[in-house]
Structure 1
Amino acid sequence: MLNYCTFTSNNGNHYFYDKENRMHICHPILAWLIDNPDFIPPKNENNVIYLKGYGEVLYDELTYYLKKYHVFVKNGYFNKEKKDEKFLSKRLTELDIEKSLANMRQVTFEVTDFCNIDCEYCFYSSLYRDYDERNNKKLDFQLAKNLIDFLVPKWNSSLNTSLDKLIYISFYGGEPLSGILVIKKIVNYIKSLDVKKNRFVFTMTTNAVMLAKHMDFIVENNFNLLISLDGDKENNQYRYLRNGKSSYDIVVKNIDLLREKYPDYFKTNVNFNAVIHNKNSVEEVNEFFKERYGKAPSIGDLNTSGIAPEYQEKFLEMYANSHHSYTKAKDKKVLENDMFLNLPIIKEMAGFLSTRSGSVYQDYNDLTSTKSYVSRKPTGTCTPFSVKMFVTVNGKLLPCETVGHQNGLGQVNRFGVTIDLKDITERYNTSYNIVESRCNSCNLNDSCSQCMIYNHSLDLDSAYAPPCSSYKNDKKFTDELAEKISYLERNRNIYEEIMTKVITI
């Protein structure tokens, strides 16, 4: 793992970076000195010195940058010592999970495993193997009530450090509107609760096929509505009804009706999500939603986890990377202006600046801390339930909806809730132990965003860490630094927008 490095942008500008996430543009002579820390200048005989791999420099110029180099060294830059072995030594505790349950941001209910659209790329289609059997089942309200009753005392406890923060109660499927009766019961029950430290917001992800029938209820309860649509009719070829016909016409008819009937609600509460595949592109999707609805969609890629081996070829035929799709756009500036943080590249750049600038702090405690770093857990895996809890139609409790159903962390049934804190901590910590050695050698170990569950690292039958798609050796890391900085040099307006609109100091 690198403690420091130099790199060159595509424009030929030199930079240095060190392990404290400090990055500066620098003169090429200074960059050469950083790469050659044991260099001792010879006596000044002819005022010109040859630097191997660089060329000739004037002695006075070399002396100037050598002094500058020593100033950086004196102030703690370019430290050759490796990070303390205890850097990734933090482990999960039962109290961590208790605190997460008390401060949970979102509870998502899988209302039904039935869907009235048969999307070829759906995570619950034949392409995948990571989900429980689908039996056209609806969530039992008693299960939802038991879970809510389990959480309310925690939300009202001293472990909840929130003050008037939002808890999102979300409905997912299948198609959640197919289970509208249980949704109504949950909404009414949530509205009857006495939770002193939080407020509730209802959200739903829907394909909009049944939207016309239930839009009054949705608007009345001020739902944040996320509608799945991949663009125009040609773009939606993978989203068809159970009878084999395109779902496009009925979906846009219902969306248009919602906009006509509730224009203010549509403007503030309705958003769209599009999956990128070989039948559409980021540019086409943006143009469609911009022209028809005046909105910028969020976009995502096909799920790459849990693919059935016999469908690998079919999956690869359908798959299209959203970042690559963006790079092929004719006018990237239009996409950047219209979509901004909905673009994967902008999200990447915001994350890059947040973690690599050395000037971004999470809170005042972080700002005033005198520690050079704090111990952290390997990987970027969320503490269980710190972000959300996903409740399957069968009552299985998962950390989110994107992981395979084999990774259940608890169960709710008609008799109550079972969450074994000891078992969860042991499972996670065993996995941390397995991946720690690999993470220690990765240059992203201080800013990892990789979920080890999504990456199948919770296989306790294996003593070996599985391959990690985010792993960065020294070369990949410096190449990524150069790539990101080169992008910012080409798009200086993006840097300014991210620093002013996204990252607040």
Structure 2
Amino acid sequence: MKDNNLYYEKFKSLSGNSYIYDGVTSVVIPDDGMLDQVIQLKDKELSDSDVIEILKDTFQAEQLKSTLMFYNRWERNYDGFHIDKREDKVPIVDAQSMKEALDYGNIYILILNVTEDCNLRCKYCYLSEAYDYTRNRTSKRMTFDIAKKALDYYFRLIEEYRYRKPNKKANINFFGGEPLIEFDLMKKVVDYAKKHAPTEVNFNITTNGYLLNDSISDFLVENNFYISVSLDGSKENNNKRVLENNVETFDRVVYNLKRFKERYPDYNDIGILSVYDIKTNLLANVEFFDENKLPTVLRATGTSNNNTDYYYQFTKEDYDHFHTVINKLRNEYMEKKCNNEKMSPYLQVFFEMEIFQVLMRKRHKDDNSGTIIPYTGTCIPGIRLSVRADGTFDICERMNQHFPIGNVDTGYDYEALADIVNKYNSSVITNCKGCIASKICQLCFAQTAGENEFQNKPDVCKQLRSMIKSGNSIIYSILEQNADAYTIEGMEKVIENMIKFEG
């Protein structure tokens, strides 16, 4: 017996064409209303002849037969349109399971938080008093002894599992705080890594750009760093990125970036990370990044609303104005995308970050069912080895301090890793089975971490579900006008940038 859990979403393009998104296979199917009604009637276990009898006055008989044939084949081959056949498995994970998961060579990046201090006091920083659970800035700085131990452990893991992934490269990301405060340590780490790594090494850095002078730029370029620089946009929009004495940083950071581009015009492994909130002048940002010769914009992300009252400062009028501007810019983006017109890099990244998540969704059976973390697409804890300044291990540079997973002296604590996964599974994925957004969900450990526990995030889940309809509506409205708008080559470029700049 079916349990009447239909598992699809209807949406329309701007031209009025109707589509069905099948949650089981994540395939989009054109529909004039006939397939939708067939699915609902067949869910009541009616025979094909009964369905034809009910719908014969609405649709032509031959079209009904063809649609029923398609439906029956789709359900038979893919279990499509319903979730009743999907097993609800939430595994209990042990330390051995975690070790085996990581033994496949999945540890792909070492993140060295070389300092917990910063020369800036950004007013929305997630490592500040504005956010619960995360650490604030401290004076802790990593010693070379701790960095060396972290490198030796990471290299040993790579060497141990190289037979599984012989082409695997080492990836070392310098993070903070502001990592360029510890530039001397960085130079020692790079020198040591190049001498002792068992394979080729890629270096990454995430910096606020304030200290990015000529000598530092030379070093980064000479060592082929992937450089991510934080800049929120125009001067008025960058005013939350200030020094400790509230002095704005815009002029110096922009000068450093322009200077970098002048001295290294062909160096493409540098990009900008931009953050916005409800009062950001998005129109000014579109113009700013279009007119200035700066590195490419890698990401445009909203200020985190996780465990904070930051967004309480905005009024209803602020939100209304923000959404009006968003709608205007979305129309501009869609028009330019439909006509293959050049657009501001900020405009493109702003909308395609969300669209990309829908476009690159998992397909049929390309999910986590049967693994240690079913349903969501969060990474397995441990594949990112983030090392605090004092040598403690975390699963991510954005993870709060309540979930350590080992240290440089003892290595991974697989019991701690298993405990994290079990807490996450029991708290976060309890409502995932029937969620239409399971193929695009990236609800991760850092987003849901509280104090020694994980928290369900219904607002995030609601937003993800709405992305299925809104994102697909944008995508197919554009594809109806320009079938080459989202090519495989274009998507591969996005993935390449994600891999390069995130390790």
**What TM-score do the two structures reach when normalised by structure 2?**
0.80
Show the 5 A alignment for 1:354-365: 354-355=360-361, 358=364
The structure whose Rg is larger is: 1
Question: Where does residue 25 of structure 1 map in the other structure?
Answer: 30
The answer on 1:121 being equivalent to 2:114 is no
Q: Distance in 1 between matches of 2:371 and 2:90?
A: 6
Question: Where does residue 66 of structure 1 map in the other structure?
Answer: 65
C-alpha contact 2:115 2:389 (8 A) present in aligned 1: yes
Question: Where does residue 349 of structure 1 map in the other structure?
Answer: 355
C-alpha contact 1:439 1:445 (8 A) present in aligned 2: yes
Q: Distance in 1 between matches of 2:167 and 2:173?
A: 19
Unaligned runs of 5+ in 2: 493-503
Q: Distance in 2 between matches of 1:43 and 1:303?
A: 49
Distance 1:394 1:342, change over 3 A: farther
Question: Where does residue 410 of structure 2 map in the other structure?
Answer: 417
Question: Where does residue 106 of structure 1 map in the other structure?
Answer: 109
Distance 1:324 1:425, change over 3 A: farther
- CA positional deviation for 1:69: 0.8
Distance 1:306 1:27, change over 3 A: closer
C-alpha contact 1:112 1:393 (8 A) present in aligned 2: yes
Show the 5 A alignment for 1:315-464: 326-329=326-329, 331-332=332-333, 333=335, 337-339=343-345, 343-355=349-361, 358=364, 377-378=373-374, 379-386=376-383, 388-412=384-408, 416-456=409-449, 459-460=452-453
Q: Distance in 2 between matches of 1:130 and 1:427?
A: 16
Question: Where does residue 240 of structure 1 map in the other structure?
Answer: 242
3-state secondary structure, aligned to 1:496: coil
C-alpha contact 1:108 1:172 (8 A) present in aligned 2: yes
- Superposed CA deviations along residues 280-306 of structure 1, whole A, max 9, x for unmatched, are 344432432332125431311112223
- CA positional deviation for 1:50: 7.6
Q: Distance in 2 between matches of 1:137 and 1:319?
A: 39
Distance 1:79 1:421, change over 3 A: same
Q: Distance in 2 between matches of 1:180 and 1:321?
A: 42
Amino acid at match of 1:382: C
Q: Distance in 1 between matches of 2:450 and 2:129?
A: 24
Q: Distance in 1 between matches of 2:414 and 2:36?
A: 50
C-alpha contact 2:150 2:391 (8 A) present in aligned 1: no
C-alpha contact 2:8 2:81 (8 A) present in aligned 1: no
Show the 5 A alignment for 1:273-312: 273-278=273-278, 280-293=280-293, 295-298=295-298, 299-307=300-308
Amino acid at match of 2:449: H
C-alpha contact 2:112 2:388 (8 A) present in aligned 1: yes
Q: How many residues align?
A: 469
Question: Where does residue 500 of structure 2 map in the other structure?
Answer: none
Amino acid at match of 2:354: E
- Superposed CA deviations along residues 65-110 of structure 1, whole A, max 9, x for unmatched, are 1353144314526575713435444746535446537432221111
Q: Distance in 1 between matches of 2:8 and 2:28?
A: 10
Q: Distance in 1 between matches of 2:207 and 2:51?
A: 75
Distance 1:2 1:443, change over 3 A: farther
- CA positional deviation for 1:158: 3.6
- Superposed CA deviations along residues 371-413 of structure 1, whole A, max 9, x for unmatched, are x975562333311122x2222223221111222222222223x
Worse-superposed segment, 105-114 or 294-303:
294-303
Distance 1:17 1:119, change over 3 A: closer
C-alpha contact 2:175 2:206 (8 A) present in aligned 1: yes
Q: Distance in 1 between matches of 2:370 and 2:326?
A: 37
Q: Distance in 2 between matches of 1:215 and 1:222?
A: 10
Q: Pick from 489, 494, 497 the counterpart of residue 485 of structure 2.
A: 497
3-state secondary structure, aligned to 1:471: helix
- Superposed CA deviations along residues 42-63 of structure 1, whole A, max 9, x for unmatched, are 899xxxx885xxx9436xx135
Q: Distance in 1 between matches of 2:258 and 2:106?
A: 38
Distance 1:107 1:25, change over 3 A: same
Question: Where does residue 15 of structure 1 map in the other structure?
Answer: 19
Question: Where does residue 369 of structure 1 map in the other structure?
Answer: none
Amino acid at match of 1:217: F
- Superposed CA deviations along residues 195-231 of structure 1, whole A, max 9, x for unmatched, are 0xx3211111122222115222222222221111112
C-alpha contact 1:275 1:301 (8 A) present in aligned 2: yes
Distance 1:164 1:42, change over 3 A: closer
Question: Where does residue 149 of structure 1 map in the other structure?
Answer: 152
**What TM-score do the two structures reach when normalised by structure 1?**
0.79
Amino acid at match of 1:141: F
Q: Pick from 485, 488, 505 the counterpart of residue 475 of structure 2.
A: 488
Q: Compute the RMSD of aligned alpha carbons.
A: 3.8
- Superposed CA deviations along residues 298-351 of structure 1, whole A, max 9, x for unmatched, are 3111122232x5x66348899999998643427324588443896253233333
Question: Where does residue 496 of structure 2 map in the other structure?
Answer: none
Distance 1:252 1:471, change over 3 A: closer
Distance 1:87 1:249, change over 3 A: same
Amino acid at match of 1:498: Y
Q: Distance in 1 between matches of 2:450 and 2:482?
A: 36
3-state secondary structure, aligned to 2:301: strand
Q: Distance in 2 between matches of 1:114 and 1:192?
A: 29
More strand by share: 1
Q: Distance in 1 between matches of 2:403 and 2:319?
A: 25
Q: Distance in 2 between matches of 1:279 and 1:315?
A: 8
- CA positional deviation for 1:497: 3.4
Worse-superposed segment, 321-330 or 178-187:
321-330
